[in-house]
Structure 1
Amino acid sequence: MDKEKILNLLGLAMRAGKLVTGEELTIGDIRSNKAKFVFVASDASDNTRKKIKDKCSYYNVPCTQSFLHSELSHAIGRTRMVIGINDQGFATKFKELIKG
C-alpha cells in the first residue's frame, strides 16, 4: 500500500469536491447511499471508529482505518477524523491502491 499516493489522491478528491468530511455528514451520506468509500482515522476514539465501522458494514460501504488523524487532516487541509468519498471513480481507485 502506497500511503503517499493514497493521501495525494485524497487531496485531489477534496479539491474536486467529491468527498464529505466529519462524522455526522459522513454517516448521513452512508445512510443515503451517497458514500462509496470511507476513511476513519486509526487514532479516532473507540466510539467513533465503532460507529462508522458498524454503519459501513450495515450499508455495505468499504471502510479503512489505515491512516492517522494527522495524515488525513494534512491531505485534505482540514482537521477531520472521518472522510467519506462520494464518487465511484475515486472509491474504486482507493480500493485498488489499498489492496496493493
Structure 2
Amino acid sequence: MTTKKHKALSLLGMAMRAGKVVTGDDTVLKALRQGKARLVLVAGDASDNTKKKYRDKCATYGTRLLEAFDRTALGEAIGKPDRVIVAVADAGFASSIERSFSEFSEVEYIE
C-alpha cells in the first residue's frame, strides 16, 4: 500500500476514535437519510448490488461516495472486523480523506 492510502486509513481511524464514523448497512442508511453522512466509503470487494445501492443512495442525498480499499483494510482502520460500508459524519475528516485520494497520480498505480 502506498503512503497516501495509509494516510486515508489513518484519518478514518482518527475519525472513528472521535466518534465520527458510522458503520453497518442500517446505520449508514439512517445517517444518509438524516443528512449526517458527509462521505461514504464502500469496500472495493463489496458486491455489485451493494455498490449500486450506495451509489444510488448517495446520489439521491447528495453525499460523496468513494470506492476504496477492501473490507479487511476498512475494518482494521476502524478497529472492527471486516467492514464493507463506512460513513464519515464529520465534514473536516471527510474532506481530509477525500483530499488524500485526490493527491494520487496515475503513475502511482503502476507497479
Once the two structures are aligned, what percentage of the paired residues are identical? Answer: 43
**1:11 positional shift:** 0.6
Residue type at the aligned position of 2:10: N
Show the 5 A alignment for 1:26-65. 26-65=28-67
Query: Which runs of structure 2 are paired with 1:1-100 in the superposition (5 Å)?
Result: 2-79=4-81, 80-100=83-103
Which stretches in structure 1 are left out of the alignment for 5+ residues?
A: none
Bigger CA radius of gyration: 2
Shift of 1:14: 0.6
Match of 1:67, SS?
coil
- The CA distance in 1 between the partners of 2:36 and 2:65, in whole Å, is 14
Please state how far the C-alpha of 1:23 moved relative to its aligned partner: 1.3
Work out the CA distance in 2 between the residues paired with 1:15 and 1:66.
20
- 1:11-31 per-residue CA deviation (whole Å, 9 max, x = no partner) reads 111111001001111011111
RMSD over aligned CA atoms reads 1.1
Offset at residue 32 of structure 1 (A): 0.9
Query: What one-letter code is carried by the residue in structure 1 that aligns with 2:39?
Result: F
Count matched residues.
Answer: 100
Q: TM-score, length-normalised on structure 1?
A: 0.94
Q: Which runs of 4+ in 1 moved over 6 A?
A: none
Q: Unpaired runs of 5+ in structure 2?
A: 104-111
